Amino acid sequence: MDELIDLLRSARQSVFRLETLSSYTAAGEAELLRAFEEGLPLPPRDPDTDPWLRMVADSVRDGTSWSRVHVLDRPLSDYLRFELLGYQGNVAAGEDVRIAERATHPEALNSMTRDFWLLDEALAVIMEYDHEGRRLAMEPTRKVSGFVGQRDLAMRYSVPLLDYLPLVQDEIRRSW
């Protein structure tokens, strides 16, 4: 993870993240996810409580734009319910978080199945995961044109998180 953080900190103009999985397995989230599934209140997640969000907020303050699109399917997995609520901390840090449902534009979104980061439109970092959402590897590449195109499509067919949450509030509440 340190290598990825170093790359992200090197971005000066823009950072974009495409997420395509319905579940990710990260050791740092296991306890929070379990608490969410049990209906327990989650601790605040903002730049003052989370080092990742502090990094994002500082970078935004210094002029780097951060955005992400999560291309997802419904019904929402337990993990996606958890993540959608957690993304509010990313928004508080200054990140433009957006959601695209594959079913709304399948011709454009069904082919988006690989996660990546795009930095300054000059470097893409392809993320590889196993079937349980555990990160296996990351592969940097300077061949970014295809990733720029995917970013543009994902952005075009997505809606801001805060516009999306009211559309799925009943589905999110069912998990409590």
Provide the pairing of β-strand 65-72 with 96-101: parallel
Per residue in 8-36, pLDDT (tens digit) is 999 999 999 999 999 999 888 999 999 99
Tally of CA atoms within 13 A in the half-sphere of 137 that contains its CB: 2
Helix (H, G, I), strand (E, B) or coil at 163: helix
Instruction: Determine whether 83 is exposed, middle or buried from the number of CB atoms within 10 Å of its CB (0-12, 13-18, 19+).
Output: buried
For the entire predicted model, the pTM comes to 0.95
Provide the pairing of β-strand 123-129 with 96-101: unpaired
State what percent of residues in the chain have pLDDT above 70: 98
Do 105 and 10 meet the contact criterion of CB atoms below 8 Å apart? no
pLDDT at 126 > cutoff 60: yes
Instruction: Determine whether 27 is exposed, middle or buried from the number of CB atoms within 10 Å of its CB (0-12, 13-18, 19+).
Output: exposed
Residue corresponding to tokens 């998180």: 161
Per residue in 41-88, pLDDT (tens digit) is 889 999 999 999 999 999 999 999 999 999 999 999 999 999 999 999
Tokens (6 digits) for 164: 């999306």
